[in-house]
Structure formats: structure tokens, C-alpha cells
Structure 1
Amino acid sequence: MKSFTISLFTAILFILPITNHSQNQGLQWLDIELSNYNYPYKVNSVTLDIQDQKLDMVYMDVQPDNYNGKNVLLLHGKNFNGAYWETTIKALVKEGYRVIVPDQIGFGKSSKPEHFHYTFQQLALNTKSLLDTLKISKVAVLGHSMGGMLATRFALMFPDTAEKLILENPIGLEDWKLKVPYKPVEWWYQNELKKDFESIKSYQKSNYYDGKWKPDYDQWVNLLAGWTLNSSYKRIAWNAALTYDMIFTQPVVYEFDQLKVPTLLIIGTRDRTALAKPLVSEDVRQTMGLYDQLGKETYQKIPDAQLVEIPEIGHLPHIESFDAFIEPLKKYLKQ
């Protein structure tokens, strides 16, 4: 019963990053694995032997004093890492949940391989390996943005592990291949090389926050822009390009009806995030990323779903409107 509630790599590394030095003044240089950036909680790592190489997957495992026997897995979005879950972790730990927060391979403090075949299946396997290492057999899985696509794939692959699925403004609620012409990885790579603080901020301001910027949001821009100052930025950009291709070519939208896990959708209805909007006409662009419609459509596809819509909030409810995000989440986890 549904309820509705509120190496090819080395061959193509030939383009130097384009940066605006005046924009980058005062920007902190960041290590390729963010070793000079402190996460809100202690980090550990597990070494994965995958695709003929050993890669380190970094994670936070925050355990409460009043453990209630339940675990929550938080999966970050494309332009983020585990650090932006700080307030969510704090609130859930206070409620007695053990909270596991990985950085996926290619993101945050985890390894940035020179060669890697990115699939959501592979990332789900990596995440399951982490849970197995921690001897965790049951979790509620919360995914934001790209993490929502990964969380969906994880729940489809491991329905006995995922007790509940929570999707916070997940991307992939529509199939962009039907509207946007395909571009190869090299195209995404060149776009990444051109990024700097101002271009990253402009994208997030327009797509995530509807032009309503707050100084607190700068920290999430800095975590991406600081990498552009690194001499290893080409490798970071290459991994980012590969994950864009993964997102574009591996939709989960056709499998929502196959989910066997109770699911909560938390949707900021002002969100207009969609991949590769500049590649289409203005008329087509206006039909993409309409979360006020996509949330309802997705809710109808999932067999056991609840929907919470947060009006006038964009792509990051847990950053932009934390109380409106955390209260329905806590209520759902207790059901």
C-alpha cells in the first residue's frame, strides 16, 4: 500500500587545465586524495582488489553510544564526497544509528585510478565488500543525486542487505539519452579540464539553488575547485569524465518497478538538475530535470513507496533545508 507524505588514459592527456588565476586567489590547493582536508569524523580505508589493481576505499564508520541495532549507509553524489553528510551523520547517530559513509572509488579521499571501468554494478559490489568487511549484513541505504542511482542499483542487487531505500533528489529519474546526443568520454574530460571555482559555483548556483547562494555553500565548491590547482588534476578530471559517461549510459529509470525494498523519496521540487543541458535546444532544455514532476512519476513506479516533497528547495535538501529533510527521514527509519 503506497502512502503519499509530505593506457587510453595517457594517450589523451594532452589538454592543460584552463584556470583563471584571479578567481583562484585564496583557493586552497587540495591533494588528490584530500589528505590535507579533514573530514568531520575519523576515516578508515579498505583495500579492494578489483580490475587487476589494488584500490583504497575510504569511509567513515560512526558508531553511537546508544546503538539501536540499526545501520544507515550514506551514498554521496557526483560533485561531492562523504564530508557533506556531517549534519545528517550527527542527527542519525544521536538517534542511535550506526552510520557508514564511503567515498566511492574515484571520489573524495578514495583512490583515483588511471584506468577503471566504472559501472554502478561495480560501485555496488565495492560498497557491499566494505559492508562485509565491517560485518554489517543489514542497512538502510540513503543515496543523494548520483548516489541515488547507486543506491537503487545496490538495492536491486542486494535486496536482502538493503532493509530500506531512501532517495534524496536522485538523478537518473529520466533517461537523458532520449533527448541528449551522446558525447564520448574525451568530451567530458575536456570540459572537466576547463573548470575553476567560478564555473563550478555558477553551475551549482543555477542548477542546485535557483540563484539563491549562501556563503556556506562555498565549501562544497572549494572541494572541487581546489583540485584544479593540483598537478595531478588530469587524473581527477579523467575519473570525473568516466563517471559522467557511467551516469549517462547506465540509467536505472527502467527498473524502479523491480525494487523489492520499501522506498522513501525525498524531493526538493525546485531542483532542475539534468545532464548535458547545453547540448540541446532551449525548448528541450525546459523539459529536463523537472523534479516537481519526476518525483511523482517515480513514486508511482516503485511498488512500496512513500513520497515527501519539499517545496521551494533544490537539489540538496540536506544542505539547503536540513530540518525539512531530517524529520521525515527519522520518521521513516523508525517505521
Structure 2
Amino acid sequence: MLRSLSVAALAALLGGSASAAAYGPELQGFRYPYPLQQFRFNSQGQTMKMAYMDVRPQGAGNGQAIVLLHGKNFCGATWEASIAALAGAGWRVIVPDQIGFCASTKPPHYQYSFQQLAQNTMALLQKAGVTKVALLGHSTGGMLATRFALMYPQAVSHLVMVNPIGLEDWKALGVPYRSVDQWFERELKLTADSVRSYEKSTYYMNRWKPAYEKWVDMLAGLNAGPGHQIVAWNSALIYDMIYTQPVVHEFPNLKVPVTLMIGDGDSTAIGSDIAPPELKAKLGNYKVLGKEAAKKIPQAHLIEFPNMGHAPQMEDPEAFHRALLQALDTPR
């Protein structure tokens, strides 16, 4: 029996002590749920490859497209259940891995900004022949989706954010700054055990399922492979972008219908691990942050998932997708 188990499954049985697989710097060796395509383009004097899935609707379709934007510790592959639910409901589903993440290029030098990532995403949509989309952004993908909607409001029919980080401005609140070099040293130490421990407490509210092991394996395996240094370096640059480029102050400027989907038990906050105890206790309170964000956004609808963590779409897919499809189908 044990011979047929994957490393991730074996880790689950052994309490998480087995080593992760080692994947290539663009996640070579990790299996995506749908065929990957490559969008090649030039950016900042470099040739980039953006990996993406373009999943056609089942049946006749509804004539609409939706773009799914992953979070910092996630990849397009982690949208697996959502892609199936949306395609089954008639949507064309486009799911990119952003530059610096997962199956896409990890450039040695890149000026990361949410504006740049939004521009890259728009270039992908133009290549795909799509002029208007709904946006579904999770975690860091929520920050990117906000920036995209601010830059290209005419191209967005509906913005849905799932536990977006950046609902508070950490640097303005006094969370200590980490330099890129400090982030790099931290990221070099990432292991399957450290990923699993963090995700158990924050993403899934200590309700761990064996199915989550493949996402631990994905992240840890990317870091443990031959791209160890370049993966950690890009991760460090991206963390600096997240910390230094808040979008929360621009929520009142959004001109598209917005749905906030919030697992209210979430406590994600960049830099909370080095914040003073009295500040740390106040950070990442999504039960409060979700409501505050909804008040700032002109056309906002708030959906809360009580006692769920950072990834309600993975913690309770059935309830999440039922609420998502209803929100997308409701005229606003």
C-alpha cells in the first residue's frame, strides 16, 4: 500500500514529516488540473512566459469570461474546484500564473508593481481576444484585481474579492519593514512543515484535510527544486510589493460592482510575525476588516463565511461556489 502513496499523501499519514517533492523553477513536474498554455511577451527588456489555463464552458456557455487571480502562496492550479464550478455554469475561465509565481517566468531582475502585473494580465486577455471579464481575486490576487479594475474599469463587469489581503495598510499601522534581502533569507528557509503549520492555523482554521497536502507539496516542492534561489528571490520582491503598495486607500475609487467574500476567521497580515505584540493582536481581523472594506467601496456587497479562514473556496467549496454563482448572476 505504501508504495503507491505520493510523498504528499505519505506526509499526511505520518503527520507531515516527509519531505516534499522537488519541482522545476517553473513548477515542472507538478500536474495542473487543465492544460497549460504559454503567453510570451516582452516586459522590462526581458522575454517572459506567463502560464495560463483557458477553460471553455461546458455546453453552449453564457458568452461571458471570468479571470481567476491567485494569491501569494497559491497558484492557478489551486483554483481547481472553482474552475470546474464556473465552467459548469457556462463561463469561459481564464486562469493565469502571474510572472514570478508558479509555472511562469521568475526573472532575475524585475520591478514588481500591481500596475505591471495588471498590464501583463491585460496583454494576456488581448491575446485571448477577450474585451470584458468578471474578475475573481483571492488573497494577493484581490489586491491585483483591485488595481486591474482601477486601471481598466471599462473591461470589468464585476469584481469579486475573496479574503483579499491589504484591507489594512500595514506600513501605516507601524508593522516593521523587512528589506528584500531579509525577505529573501526568510524565503530560503521555507519547508513543507513550515508551510503546513502556517496554513493549518490561518487558511483552514485547524480543520485540515488530506486534500490540502498537494498544495503544501506544490509550494514546498517549488522552493526545494533547482530554482531554489531564484524562486526565493522573486518571492522576496513580491512580498516587498505587497507591503509597500497598498490599494485599500483607493477602494472608494472603484467604479465597478464589487462582491467581497470573507472567511471571517482569517487573520492573515503581512509582517505580523515581527510586529510588536500589542500591534499584532489587532492585525488581520477579517471579521472587522471585511465590513470596513464594504463601507469604503461604492457598489459593494459583502458575503461572510462564519468561522472560516483565508480560503473559503477550498474550505467549503459547495457553499462558496453557490454564493459566488448567485453573486455573479445578480444584476447590480
Name the TM tier (shorter chain): over 0.9
Aligned to 1:157: 151
What is the distance in 2 between the residues matched to 1:143 and 1:42?
A: 21
CA contact under 8 A between 1:41 and 1:60: conserved in structure 2? yes
Q: TM-score, normalised by structure 2?
A: 0.92
Tell me the equivalent position of 2:214: 219
Q: Distance in 2 between matches of 1:112 and 1:217?
A: 25
Following the alignment from structure 1 to structure 2, what is the Cα–Cα distance between the partners of residues 199 and 211? 14
- 2:86 maps to 92
Q: Is the 8 A contact 1:24 1:196 kept in 2?
A: no
Please list, as runs of the form range in 1=range in 2, the aligned pairs for 1:64-83 lying within 5 A after superposition.
64=57, 65-83=59-77
Please state whether the residue corresponding to 2:153 is helix, strand or coil: coil
Q: Tell me if structure 2 keeps the 8 A contact 1:33–1:108.
A: yes
- Aligned-pair identity in percent equals 50
1:110-149 equivalences under 5 Å are 110-149=104-143
1:45 aligned residue (38, 45, 51): 38
Which amino acid counterpart does residue 72 of structure 1 have in structure 2? I
Q: Return the alpha-carbon distance in structure 2 between the equivalents of residues 247 and 106 of structure 1.
A: 13
Secondary structure, counterpart of 1:80 in structure 2: coil
Asked if 1:288 is matched to 2:283, the reply is yes
Name stretches of at least 5 consecutive residues in structure 1 with no aligned partner.
Answer: 1-22
C-alpha distance in structure 2 between counterparts of 1:278 and 1:105, whole Å: 26
Which whole-Å deviations, capped at 9, do the CAs of 1:86-127 have from their partners, x for residues lacking one?
A: 111111111110000000001111111111110000000000
1:58 counterpart residue number:
51
Structure 1 residues 26 and 202, CA, compared in 2 at 3 Å: closer, same or farther?
closer
In the TM superposition, 1:247-326 aligns within 5 A as 247-326=242-321
Q: Which amino acid aligns with 1:81?
A: C
* Displacement after TM superposition at 1:26 (Å): 4.7
CA distance in 2, matches of 1:36, 1:217: 18
The answer for the alignment partner of 1:20 in structure 2 is: none
| Offset of residue 195 of structure 1 | 1.2
Deviation at 1:307, TM superposition (A): 0.5
| 3-state SS of paired residue (2:154) | coil
Q: What RMSD, in angstroms, separates the aligned Cα atoms of the two structures?
A: 1.3
Could you say what secondary structure the match of 2:222 adopts? helix
User: Secondary structure, in 3 states, of the residue corresponding to 1:160?
Assistant: helix
Instruction: State the distance in 2 between where 1:87 and 1:81 align.
Output: 13
- 2 CA distance for matches of 1:44 and 1:228? 22
- Tell me how far 1:282 sits from its aligned partner: 1.9
Amino acid at match of 2:120: N
The reply on whether 1:30 has 2:23 as its aligned counterpart is: yes
The Cα shift of 1:35 comes to 2.0
Q: Does the Cα contact within 8 Å between 2:23 and 2:226 map onto a contact in 1?
A: no
In 2, Cα distance between equivalents of 1:227 and 1:34: 6
Q: Distance in 2 between matches of 1:251 and 1:53?
A: 26
Aligned residues: 314
Structure 2: any 5+ residue segments left out of the alignment? 1-15
> Taking structure 1 as the reference length, what is the TM-score of the superposition?
0.91
Measure how far apart 1:182 and its partner are. 1.2
SS of 1:181 mapped into structure 2: coil
1:229 shift after superposition: 2.4
Distance 2:222 2:53 in 1: 22
Counterpart-to-counterpart distance in 2, 1:24 and 1:51: 41
Tell me which amino acid in the other structure corresponds to 1:112.
K
